Structure 1
Amino acid sequence: MTAMESEKARASGWFRALRDEIVARFEALEAGHEAGPGAGALAGRFDVRETRRAGDGGGGLMSVMKGGRVFEKVGVNVSTVHGTLSPAAQAAMAARKDMPGLADDPRFWASGISLVAHMQNPHVPAVHMNTRMFWTPGAWWFGGGSDLNPCIEYDEDTSGFHCVQKAHLDRHDPALYPRLKAWADEYFFVPHRGRARGVGGIFLDDHCSGDWEADFALIQDIGRAFLPAYVPLVERRKAQPWGEAERETQLIHRGLYAEYNLVYDRGTKFGLATGHDPDAVLMSLPPLAKWA
């Protein structure tokens, strides 16, 4: 096994371990919600199925929970796929980043975890998280981050979410958090609405310092930051009373989320362009949404 093959295996194994930890924690949140709105429903459990890329191109696990006490719909997907980029996908990747040799050898390998949670209680913010590694014969890079998407904003929730992420990034370089926060603010902006999708978080892409171990350690800490940044917000808001006005606000905000993911999101475009399971790619869409 070459050094890069070993590194690919380590990255893929890490994304799977993070997936397992998050799934277990979210099911525990469901089981532990015993008072307040939604507590009388059955505790949600993830339905898990294997996904396959077209042909013999790898696959992963699609884990979705619907209609629970806390989560209206949450998906936690993990995949490791490989193959040859289509001409359209090859052109799109080459336009984003200088990838030596891509024009002559369009093979690729990609692994990662992607999570989107849409909540029952409108006071609990929706959230998105992903971390990934991408490889071609000429280059490799890491990407990912997480961002908070409340339909009803609370300053203490936003501050807490960002503080945890900053603490995890400061372990590597105090300059990282302000740069990745600004990147998220730019990336998760909806141009046709002239506004941000949510209250931001952190984001990076095409990250390759040349030191694979350092970059892998960074992407691991971005993943590790997710549960301590998000779960306390769920615990704080899940029993808060809500009514039809709050639900209306939530559904309209979800329309904005759907617009962004269908029109602008790189992960959606890449997954569909490379033949991955469309249900897994479109897992991020909310179960219900509304447009004013």
Structure 2
Amino acid sequence: MTEELKDERARAAAWFRSLRDEIVAAFEDLEQSHDTGPFSDAAPARFDVTETTRASEDGTDAGGGLMSVLRGGRVFEKVGVNVSEVYGTLGERAQAAMAARKGIPGMKDDPRFWASGISLVAHMQNPQVPAVHMNTRMFWTPHAWWFGGGSDLNPCLEYDEDTAHFHAQQKAHLDPHSADLYPRLKAWADEYFYVPHRKRARGVGGIFMDDHCTGDWEEDFRLTQDIGRAFLPAYLPLVEKRRVQDFTEADKDAQLVHRGLYAEYNLVYDRGTKFGLETGHDANAVLMSLPPLAKWV
């Protein structure tokens, strides 16, 4: 049985909130500074922030979070940066899914849980700029705890140098922990962010881990923090470089079709989507990742 880890849980939740604040500020700076190229004549947009709640099975409040969404901007067509801290007891479906993944003994007798994390998805105005996803999270039960998350790049128009930069930043942040981490988490992302019914990856990959628990909470938390810290240096330079480029109608069409692939993955396969809906979290927050417009051929 795990310790209560109350202080550690509070530290993790505070970290996810501070990372959210840093990313929101950086994205609003991108909106403000975009003064040349496509969409630069539009007004810069800012995030709308809404408190979210999780309704427990008995109808009482069982935690919540912040849903921060920016729509119709100069750079971002839609971007959401959500943080949450939820708790309570897992229902039967969630218990079954968790037991199948983790093989946690005792869940049926004591199904309490706590979870906190940050989740980000950005869909861009200019199809030259890649879409992106990032999340990190901590999960606790009386029987186990673990961390998960990562980030992956989802361009509709691929540039090899952008892919190389994104991956190099992930590697630079993981290598201080262990030289084998980046190749292992890259391979995990390649497997996880694969769309079986399309027989293709949803993007150009990144890093991903789940159910990560070495038994050393401090080290696992440091790793999770560095996965979060890698995001802005991996992504911001790509946005700054590509947002000024012109594009064609064919480029925009390719973007909408690629968004359809992204939506299919998130609705059919994504663990976070399934867990959020099964545990009663705010549906708008859970489905924040879906693009504002998409197309299927």
How would you bin the TM-score normalised by the shorter chain? over 0.9
Contact 2:47/2:69 (<8 A) preserved: yes
Contact 1:100/1:139 (<8 A) preserved: no
Aligned to 1:224: 229
Aligned to 1:97: 102
Aligned to 1:84: 89
Aligned to 1:11: 12
Aligned to 1:157: 162
Tell me, in whole angstroms, the C-alpha distance in 2 between the residues paired with 1:199 and 1:245: 20
Tell me, in whole angstroms, the C-alpha distance in 2 between the residues paired with 1:281 and 1:258: 13
Aligned to 2:32: 31
Contact 2:4/2:142 (<8 A) preserved: no
Aligned to 1:61: 66
Aligned to 2:183: 178
Tell me, in whole angstroms, the C-alpha distance in 1 between the residues paired with 2:105 and 2:243: 49
Tell me, in whole angstroms, the C-alpha distance in 2 between the residues paired with 1:154 and 1:172: 29
In the TM superposition, what is the alpha-carbon distance from 1:40 to its structure 2 partner?
0.3
Counterparts of residues 1-292 of structure 1 (less than 5 Å): 4-54=5-55, 55-292=60-297
Q: What secondary structure sits across from 1:41 in the alignment?
A: coil
Aligned-residue identity in percent: 76
CA deviation string 1:182-228 (max 9, x = no partner): 00000000000000000000000000000000000000000000000
In the TM superposition, what is the alpha-carbon distance from 1:99 to its structure 2 partner?
1.6
Tell me, in whole angstroms, the C-alpha distance in 1 between the residues paired with 2:89 and 2:274: 16
Contact 1:76/1:116 (<8 A) preserved: yes
In the TM superposition, what is the alpha-carbon distance from 1:3 to its structure 2 partner?
6.4
Tell me, in whole angstroms, the C-alpha distance in 2 between the residues paired with 1:128 and 1:250: 16
TM-score relative to the length of structure 1: 0.99
Tell me, in whole angstroms, the C-alpha distance in 2 between the residues paired with 1:56 and 1:211: 32
Unaligned runs of 5+ in 1: none
In the TM superposition, what is the alpha-carbon distance from 1:98 to its structure 2 partner?
2.2
Letter in 1 for 2:265: Y
Letter in 2 for 1:8: R
Contact 1:255/1:291 (<8 A) preserved: yes
Q: What secondary structure sits across from 1:112 in the alignment?
A: strand
In the TM superposition, what is the alpha-carbon distance from 1:252 to its structure 2 partner?
0.3
